[in-house]
Amino acid sequence: MTQATKFDPRLAPIAQYVKSMASPQAFYSEKAGKVRAERVNGVVTLYRFDDIIRVNRHPAILGNGGQGGSFGNDNPLIPLEIDGEDHKKWRKLLDPLFGPKQMAPLEEQIRTLAGELIDKFASRGHAELHDEFCEPLPSLTFLRLVGAPIEDLDFFLDFKNGVIHPEGDTVEEIEANMAVAGGKLLEYFVNYLAERRKDTEQKNDVIGILLRSEVDGKPIEELDLLNIMFLLMFAGLDTITSSLSCIFAWLGQNPEARDRLIADRSLLPAAIEEILRYESPVPAGQRHATADIDLGDGLVIKAGEAIHAIWAAANVDPTHYDNPLEVDFNRGRAPNMVFASGTHRCLGSHLARMELRVALEEILNRIPDYQVPAPEDLVYDNVSVRTVTKLPVTFTAS
Ligand code: HEM
């Protein structure tokens, strides 16, 4: 496969195989144990943690943009589909906007919102946790953070579903559907940015800061702003929702582990990290080699080859982790591939970790005995982002 040839990881055989599995972890783990790498439809598929780490850090590797845009926008999304010095430049601008210091002041606001959402269902004794909590908490938090209108939440959710979970059985169908969703968002932001430029108030949300920022000594160009906002709106709106749905489902199905967290909240950061490792909300990514890359022991990725890096397999790779299928809160802070690694490592990990912790604290405070259906009675979607699409729970009303 040449660099110009497109493949869509969502249509890869492995993505289709695990598509609706409630528990794909054993499959991923066995794969990583038995198969180091394989060429599937001409794409090098990597399963092992150590190989993927090396690829992600390699100077001859391009990220998602190695084959052009993949999310219904003809222009490269910033920073996901940009590489090299340009990528560094954009991350230097964006990293401080999502750093730990910038995220810390949001904690109380997130806690208040979580409490308000729980207030709406606590006395009922049952809730649809995905729709009533996992979706609104991160979405409303993110819209406030970036400075996008909260009243347009449904429009943004339709957009992110349209580009992350597009309908279609072929690359062409998927691309056409994503382009429709993407086109609507671009039109929206052309108008919204024009409004914001007229605003005389110096707002300190992400859009306000970007409108006042300079790159290479000049204000950021309109097209670049649109390509940043396009990526932020789906990266920020989907992943924490999906992670919450997986974590709540797992804890509900493992009440002894949940009881440990109820008894000792100091375990929460390690527990969240460990459940994320096991659940791998973002299961895979793509990379592109610009030169031959020798990974040792005869495994050479050739210049121009596309790579499908299965983060979810690396996270349960038995050649890297002891007892990878055991969710062990005492595992310690061993690195994982939840937020990828290297150049394109997730920009939003500080926000994600803090928000997941606050959300869990509030749910464990208010509805600690919530019951969830068995895994086989829940609908999981493992393509693009692993999520539990509906999460009906029952609990002692208060
Ligand atoms: C638990 C929640 C999250 C998970 C599991 C997650 C996972 C990931 C992964 C695996 C990547 C690498 C993608 C690739 O290279 O193919 C990534 C990149 C990225 N994430 Fe996240 N993410 C999460 C939350 C967020 C949030 C809340 C934001 C919003 C700021 C965000 C923004 C980004 C951006 C902008 C990139 C591209 C970084 C680059 O290319 O330099 N993520 N994320």
Question: Structural domain boundaries of the chain?
Answer: 9-394
The answer to whether 310 and 45 have CB atoms below 8 angstroms apart is: yes
| CATH classification code of 9-394 | 1.10.630.10
Residue type (1 letter), 115: G
Nearest-atom number in ligand 1 for the CA of 82 is 40
End-to-end CA distance of the chain: 59
For 388, the token pair is 């539990």
Which one of 58, 71, 106, 346 would you pick to mutate in the ligand 1 pocket, going by the greatest count of ligand atoms within 8 A of its CB?
346
CA of 277 to the centre of ligand 1 (A): 15
Q: Name every protein residue with a CB atom under 6 angstroms from any ligand 1 atom.
A: 63-64, 79-80, 91, 98, 231-232, 235-236, 239-240, 243, 281-282, 285, 311, 338-340, 344, 346-348, 351-352
**Rounded to an integer, what distance in angstroms lies between the CA atom of residue 99 and that of residue 177?**
34
CA of 235 to the centre of ligand 1 (A): 6
**Rounded to an integer, what distance in angstroms lies between the CA atom of residue 38 and that of residue 54?**
17
**Rounded to an integer, what distance in angstroms lies between the CA atom of residue 239 and that of residue 114?**
17
pLDDT in tens, the chain (398 residues): 444 457 888 889 999 999 999 999 999 999 999 999 999 999 999 999 999 999 999 999 999 887 777 777 888 999 999 999 999 999 999 999 999 999 999 999 999 999 999 999 999 999 999 999 999 999 999 999 999 999 999 999 999 889 888 888 888 888 899 999 999 999 999 999 999 999 988 899 999 999 999 999 999 999 999 999 999 998 989 999 999 999 999 999 999 999 999 999 999 999 999 999 999 999 999 999 999 999 999 999 999 999 999 999 999 999 999 999 999 999 977 899 999 999 999 999 999 999 999 999 999 999 999 999 999 999 999 999 999 999 999 999 99
For 136, the token pair is 């609104």
Look-up of token digits 């008894």: 263
CA of 346 to the centre of ligand 1 (A): 4
List Cβ neighbours of 236 (8 Å cut-off, separation of 6 or more).
138, 142, 145, 146, 348, 351
The answer to whether 15 and 259 have CB atoms below 8 angstroms apart is: no
Look-up of token digits 């269902």: 121
**How many alpha carbons fall within 13 Å on the CB side of residue 79?**
19
